[in-house]
Amino acid sequence: MDRNDLTFGRFRLDLNARQLARDGVPIPLSSRALDILFVLASAKGEVVTKDELMNRVWPGLVVDENTIRVHVSALRKALGEGTSGQTHLMTVPGRGYRLVGLKPQLSDADGGTDNTSAPVPSDRPSIAVLPFQNMSGDPEQDYFADGMVDEIITGLSRIKWLSVISRNSTFTYKNKPVAIKEVADKFGVRYVLEGGVRKSGNRVRITAQLIDTRTDTHLWAEQYDRVLDEVFALQDEITMCVIGAIEPSLRKAEIDRVRRKRPNNLSAYDIVLRVLPSFFAQMAKDSATAIPLLENAVKLQPDYGAAHALLGWFFHRRFVLGRRDEDRFAAIQHARTAITHGNDDATALAVAAHVIAYDDHDTATALKLFDRALELSNSNVLALSLSAIALAWMGEAELSIERADRAIELSPFDSSNFRAPYALAITYFYKRQYKNAIDAAQNAVDYNPHFCAARVVLAAALLRAERATEAKIAARDALECEPTFTIRTWAVVVELEPAVFRPFADAWREIGLPE
């Protein structure tokens, strides 16, 4: 056992495994609820104020009291009542909360005891955005650098799986020398973003770099040069580009981290990280592995919207390949559960919308969910590209092109961004711009050779461009990639607007793809 392992009464709290168990039986609770329990248990029966809970569980973040009440209510239900019928988790009016009737025992690897001063660990990655250096030599340009950081913090805070330290906390380092290790220790963050702004004449240069504080290595760095015409529009543009680039870099770093962990020590969050590569690579054959893992994740945390969304997606993929109604029903059920529990998670909403559009053909709900996702995070590349695909199959050509182009602009080097050119290929084919459709579909295939959908669209575009021999080769490659493909199967899923689907079906029949 270690310092984050507590036993009290019939309960055992293991913060490394992110689990509370009663008599050895796991109790599903959110990670924040477990952190609150750790703080209360460490207080040994003393009252813990709401402010102290906020500072310990959400260091540097701003949360409302209702958030604490939700987690406390879940904890109270999980802990139940003592032998006298009194709740174990008491609210002390006007002061805070305390545990009663439970005597925690803490131990660490050295045989020591309580260590309540250690930061409360979290299973979510965390980041601090330091004040950008004003390298122009003109103090009056500080506002531009500060505004850039404000917008980046706001944008990153919309990423549901990421904890972002507040501006007021990180700006204590403004105009001071900074040691990354000091920042990491002070805020307990895994990542630090730093940068600088240099303005010269009518041009501005922004540099930014993302650092892993555990290894002191640079995960990502970029430089942006722009003409300084409309200053605030420029801030918005660069901020969205930075956020669009940082998110996939952080995601890759987190996936690499969890791959290095022992597989028998999984939290719900770590399970989601383990299946993300299959999701982003569109590896439908991995559904058999991903579905049981994600089912375990939602057992550990039933209100985990992202896990439900991904579970819906993998059931959707299995339905596409096997055409089993039970898979389609399961996909829809988990997608709608994701909406309930992930209404503030742009990525979860986008994935749920994708499933609801194709498996339930409820396009009105799907479009509302995509719009909600983009309201939460207008630089979410996945929401942009998935909505562009759905809009393409619905015949909403102009909006599809707009969102696909935006996704490519925000994340031009993200290897998982093959969906945006795929959306363009569908739309260009529908608009009879076959050369553009070929180029876009080929880009999608180049990004991801396992993405079979792009190959069948490529085949149709090649045929209509009077390149029949190449079209047949593309069709053959598509069948090798996805042997179960039939026109009828695809119609069940993507025929959201017959006028869009029919020209594809006609072309596929001419090529000789199976009906």
- How many independent structural domains does the chain possess? 3
Q: Assess if residue 176 is contained within a domain.
A: yes
pLDDT at position 168: 67
pLDDT at position 393: 95
Q: Assess if residue 156 is contained within a domain.
A: yes
pLDDT at position 185: 79
**Can you give the CATH number for the domain in which 145 is found?**
3.40.50.10610
Nearest 10 degrees: CA dihedral of 221, 225, 231, 236? -40
In contact, 280 and 267? CB cutoff 8 Å: no
Shared domain check, 212 and 291 = no
Q: Assess if residue 120 is contained within a domain.
A: no
Q: Assess if residue 114 is contained within a domain.
A: no
Q: For the chain, give the mean pLDDT.
A: 79
In contact, 49 and 40? CB cutoff 8 Å: no
Shared domain check, 145 and 28 = no
**Can you give the CATH number for the domain in which 57 is found?**
1.10.10.10
**Chosen domain end from 206, 233, 258:** 258
Report the alpha-carbon distance of residue 138 to residue 501 in Å, rounded: 58
Q: What is the H or E stretch that residue 374 is in?
A: helix 363-376
pLDDT at position 261: 55
**Can you give the CATH number for the domain in which 365 is found?**
1.25.40.10
Shared domain check, 287 and 232 = no
Report the alpha-carbon distance of residue 195 to residue 135 in Å, rounded: 10
Q: What is the H or E stretch that residue 223 is in?
A: strand 217-227
Determine the structural domain holding residue 242 and report its residue range.
Answer: 126-258
Structure confidence by residue, pLDDT tens digits, 147-204: 778 778 877 777 767 777 867 678 788 888 888 888 887 777 888 888 888 877 778 8
Q: Assess if residue 263 is contained within a domain.
A: no
Ranking 44-58, 102-116, 245-259 by mean pLDDT, the lowest is 102-116
Q: Assess if residue 472 is contained within a domain.
A: yes
Shared domain check, 407 and 494 = yes
Shared domain check, 229 and 276 = no
Shared domain check, 277 and 142 = no
pLDDT band at residue 449, thresholds of 50, 70 and 90?
confident
pLDDT at position 60: 57
Structure confidence by residue, pLDDT tens digits, 308-328: 999 999 999 888 887 788 988
Range among 340-344, 403-407, 507-511 with highest mean pLDDT value: 507-511
**Chosen domain end from 239, 258, 277:** 258
Shared domain check, 315 and 210 = no
Q: Distance between the two ends of the chain, CA-based, in angstroms? A: 60
In contact, 370 and 350? CB cutoff 8 Å: yes
pLDDT at position 113: 33
Ranking 13-22, 340-349, 373-382 by mean pLDDT, the lowest is 13-22
Shared domain check, 309 and 244 = no
Report the alpha-carbon distance of residue 372 to residue 366 in Å, rounded: 10
| Ordered alpha helix ranges (H), 188-267 | 231-259
- pTM (predicted TM-score): 0.61
Shared domain check, 436 and 486 = yes
Angle (nearest 5°) at CA 400 between 398 and 401: 65
Q: Assess if residue 291 is contained within a domain.
A: yes
Does residue 85 have a pLDDT over 80?
no
Shared domain check, 290 and 399 = yes
Shared domain check, 289 and 234 = no
Q: Assess if residue 299 is contained within a domain.
A: yes
Between 442 and 89, the higher pLDDT residue: 442
Ranking 29-38, 42-51, 183-192, 234-243 by mean pLDDT, the lowest is 234-243
Shared domain check, 252 and 152 = yes
Structure confidence by residue, pLDDT tens digits, 473-485: 999 998 988 888 8
Looking up tokens 């490529």 gives 458
**Chosen domain end from 107, 139, 163:** 107
The residue among 24, 48, 27, 28 whose CA lies nearest residue 36 is 48
